[in-house]
Chains A and B, each alone.
Chain A
Amino acid sequence: MANGAVTQTQHIPYLAQKGLKSWILTTDHKRIGILYLITISFFFMIAGLTALGMRYELMTPELDFFRTATEYNVAFTIHGSLMVFFFIVPGIAASFGNFLIPLMIGARDVAFPRINLLSFWIYLVGTAILLFALAQPADTGWTFYTPYSIQTGTKVIMITLGVFVLGFSSILTGMNFIVTIHKLRAPGMTWSRLPLFIWASYATAILQLLATPVVGITLLLLIAERAFDIGFFDPAKGGDPILFQNFFWFYSHPAVYIMVIPAFGIISEIIPVFARKPIFGYKAIAYSSFAIAIISFFVWLHHMFVSGISETAAAIFSFLTMLVAIPTAVKVFNWTATLYKGSIDFHSSMLYALSFIVLFTVGGLTGVYLGALAVDVHLHDTYFIVAHMHYVMIGGTVMGFFGALHFWYQKWFGKVFNELVAKAAWFLIFVGFNVTFFPQFFMGYQGMPRRYATYPEEYISYHALSTYGSWILGLGILIMTVNLLIPLWKKGRPESSNPYGSLSLEWQVPSPPPHENFDEIPTVTDWTYAYGKK
């Protein structure tokens, strides 16, 4: 594989063309990636501010920030559904997936560039419906559990319709990536040489393709029940409320992996570059993404251990849940072992990658508590779940996302951010995140239920600490955002197209890359991770 910096001089970057039309009608995967990045970041900000409002409310046991409990309930519904459906599910997969997949495999674009643009437009229609829905938001929580979601007086149909429409975007993107990875790999880019981000994207795409239709149908049934009074889920009309939960989690558990597997891919890219070491246990990491993806279809009942399911079903699903923990643990060991005898540079993206390992380990280990049946009975629907979920989603996915932003920033935007400020922001985010969520494990074990607008006096010190943490976390994210936005208005390009000495193909083209990435499709002759002295 060609290594060494390409001259940064004579080429027309893909960003050269200006004007609205050049964006909304673009079929360039890098531009579509940017469009996704802007949209998901927008929703991340709204949902994040909502969370700060919720944390502010919870500083004291009584209702003080919001006027009514319903307002608080609406806030957590907005926070959850925006974060899950509009930020984290499409998040890394659609933004970095679009930008990186063709570059990494040595292709000029995805297999179906126009369908790719269509996916984005469908996503935008979904977000438009959602923004409309936010004028009169629902109070069901992001899980839309029946029969509450059927009986509540708030508006449920619009928000679920928005999520339903989004599903099509997800399915089309997944399909597009699968075909791209199969058909457009450069000569010599064999499956065993593929970057692990590609393996992760492939596993994610399969999940998107197979699981998303189920949530689509479920939400459609819910809409039909609310609009036309057809009794699917409400027992008063002869329906079954547990059926909804089965449908919902059949999608939403695999969806957890749609959210986190791309982050696994990112970590597997960042660590070898900054440790100058081959990734340790390449095959184990690649295959474990698939193992996780497949097993994740058969663990959904672990969200329902106290819903009255049979003992046998509970036992089978607890067992399968434990199985998921094994490939996850193996990955953590592999990433850590990659550092051994390396030459480690603590670039801001590496700091995010290393904190990913630590925080995701906490998220994974606390998942074991929840997989153990008798313990789950006590912890279910408490703040322990809230903490566990955020350690996986922020400690895992968002750390991966931030790491990716810092790592590929130069490549994607052709600008350079202030590294010192980036490190300071990382520090605030790392500390703030832990102060916010670590106390919630203890609060949960003591019995504090989730989704409580007011709460018994005894939990006040934990809640207060958690709120202070959210301010540090918020400040960190603000500084990071400003630090990444400022360079976009500055002139000039990075000095080197490959400043970190990566062997991956996307670093062998100029920053930012030209319109169709490669003048000549490269021929790959070695492994992506052939760092170090053989």
Chain B
Amino acid sequence: MSTWIPESASNLAASVDNITLFVTIVSVFFFVLISAVLVGFSIKYRRKSEDQETAYITHNQVIETIWTIIPTILLMVIFAWGWIAFKELRNPPAEAIEVNVVAKQWLWEFEYFTGKKSLNELFVQQNKPVRLIMRSDDVIHSFFVPQFRVKQDILPGSYQQLWFTPTKVGTFDLLCAEYCGSGHSQMLAKVNVLSPEAFARWEKGDEFEDGAALPKISVSPAERGKDLYSQRGCLACHSLDGKEVIGPTFKNLYGKTEELADGSSVLVDENYLRESIYEPQAKMVKGYPPTMPSFKGILSEDEVTALVEYIKTLK
């Protein structure tokens, strides 16, 4: 591996490196050009005598236009390329496996859709896209794996997502990139990329698990959400079979675009569901009365995540 660039271990790494290479070529060209001209002029036009005559040159329309247009074109190419790659980076494929991530001072918790949990160690399968749904319990953190060329700030009070497809089996450093206090530089974790066989073994058993700090829960978040659905009284107003009771049905709710009372529309995603549980009147869907109470202080962030996961399964 080159000593200049870190190993490239995700589907997104190559395009980031290619843009970097292009910008580097452009930069080195201009840097060498300017330095060479500067040094060349400095030698050639150094003062040899006090009364040396100099030319009265004030400007040159042609050359100034040229050196404005060329950088402009190059910069537009870099902008467009960076944007195209950014779009890929921001839009996970539908088949991505979801993992819930909680970042807090100063550790990382991962919960998989099977209900398995791990602490400071993320397990993913080689060549399978992963979508992380991340929230913070305290201050801003940032998920950063240099070998994957991905980074996303994690905020308290909302979900942030990030995706990648790991392409190489191995263990990679996960670093917190947003300053978060005295433990910031120790907020490190590992990403274990397993071969399909090893991943299947890990999913079934716990031969890879050393997470002694966490109780082993085999109930998946969606199953816990199902229990909460009945225990916390959601069922009184939200049906599971498409019937309209008082509030909207949960069936096929996730991923739908709803029209709001003020005429605008909203895509029902994780953040919208979370907000509607904590602040139901913030974005009211048209045609429903504002009767739902806030569940702030009643449902914990973990419980809301479980409910959201449950709603997502109701297709």
Within 8 A of A (CB), among B32-89: 34-35, 37-38, 41-42, 45-48, 52-60, 63-64, 67-68, 71-72, 75-76, 78-79, 81-83, 85-89
Q: Please state if B59 and A373 are interface contacts (CB–CB under 8 Å).
A: no
Interface flag for B183 (CB, 8 Å): yes
Q: Which of A236, A275, A314, A343 has the most CB of B within 10 A?
A: A343
Determine if A139 is an interface residue (Cβ-Cβ < 8 Å).
Answer: yes
Contact residues, A292-326 vs B (CB, 8 A): 306-308, 311, 314-315, 318-319, 322-323, 325-326
Q: How many chain B residues have a CB neighbour from A under 8 Å?
A: 82
Chain A neighbourhood of B242, CB < 8 A: none
User: Does B102 reach chain A (CB closer than 8 Å)?
Assistant: no
**Which residues of chain B from 168 to 187 have any CB-CB distance to chain A below 8 Å in the complex?**
173, 175-186
Contact of A447 among B4, B56, B146 (CB under 8 A): B146
From 142 to 176 in chain B, residues with beta carbon under 8 angstroms from any chain A beta carbon are 142, 144, 146-147, 149-153, 155-158, 160, 173, 175-176
- B284 at interface, CB cutoff 8 A: no
Name A353-370 residues within 8 Å CB distance of B.
354, 357-358, 361-362, 365-366, 368-369
Listed stretches B13-21, B209-217, B259-267; interface member = B13-21
Q: Is A190 an interface residue (CB 8 A)?
A: no
C-alpha spacing A336/B36, complex, angstroms: 10
* A314 close to B151 (CB less than 8 A): no
Chain A residues within 8 Å of B182, by CB: 68-70, 73, 139
What's the nearest-Cβ distance from chain A to residue B65, in Å?
A: 10
**In the complex, per-residue mask of B109-132: 1 if CB is within 8 Å of any chain A CB, else 0:** 000000000000000000000000
B191 at the interface (CB under 8 A from A): no
Q: How far is the CB of A300 from chain B (nearest CB, A)?
A: 16
B206 CB within 8 Å of chain A:
no
- Cβ of A344 and Cβ of B46 under 8 Å apart? yes
Task: State the CA gap A346–B48 with chains docked (Å).
Answer: 12
Which of these, A281, A308, A529, contacts B64 with CB under 8 Å? A281
State whether A326 and B38 are in contact (beta carbons under 8 Å apart), knowing that A445-B5, A445-B20 are contacts in the complex.
no
Which residues of A (62-88) have their CB < 8 Å from a CB of B? 68-70, 73
- A223 CB to nearest chain B CB (Å): 18
Docked complex Cα distance between A323 and B79 (Å): 10
Pairwise interchain contact A372-B79, C-beta atoms closer than 8 A = yes
* Chain A nearest CB, measured from B22 CB (Å): 9
Does B299 have its Cβ within 8 Å of any Cβ on chain A? no
Docked Cα-Cα span, A18 to B90, in Å, equals 65
A235 contacts the other chain (CB 8 A): yes
CB neighbours (8 Å) of A337 from chain B are 63
Contact of A375 among B54, B82, B142 (CB under 8 A): B82
Q: Are A280 and B47 in contact (CB under 8 A)?
A: no
Residues of chain B having any CB pair with chain A under 8 Å? 4-6, 12, 15-16, 19-20, 23, 26-27, 30-31, 34-35, 37-38, 41-42, 45-48, 52-60, 63-64, 67-68, 71-72, 75-76, 78-79, 81-83, 85-90, 138-140, 142, 144, 146-147, 149-153, 155-158, 160, 173, 175-186, 188
Given contacts A362-B31, A374-B85, 11 further A-B contacts (CB under 8 A): A69-B185, A139-B182, A278-B58, A308-B152, A339-B42, A341-B45, A341-B55, A346-B46, A374-B15, A378-B146, A445-B20
Residues of A in contact with B (beta carbons under 8 Å apart): 68-70, 73, 139, 141, 145, 147-148, 151-152, 234-236, 240-242, 275-284, 306-308, 311, 314-315, 318-319, 322-323, 325-326, 329-330, 332-334, 336-337, 339-346, 354, 357-358, 361-362, 365-366, 368-369, 371-378, 380-382, 442, 445-447, 449-456, 529-534
23 interchain pairs, CB-CB under 8 A: A73-B184, A277-B55, A278-B57, A314-B83, A319-B79, A322-B79, A323-B75, A329-B30, A336-B34, A337-B63, A342-B45, A344-B45, A366-B27, A368-B26, A368-B27, A373-B82, A377-B16, A381-B151, A445-B5, A449-B175, A449-B177, A531-B56, A532-B57
Nearest 8 Cβ contacts at the A-B interface = A447-B146, A235-B157, A372-B82, A374-B85, A373-B86, A452-B185, A339-B41, A532-B56
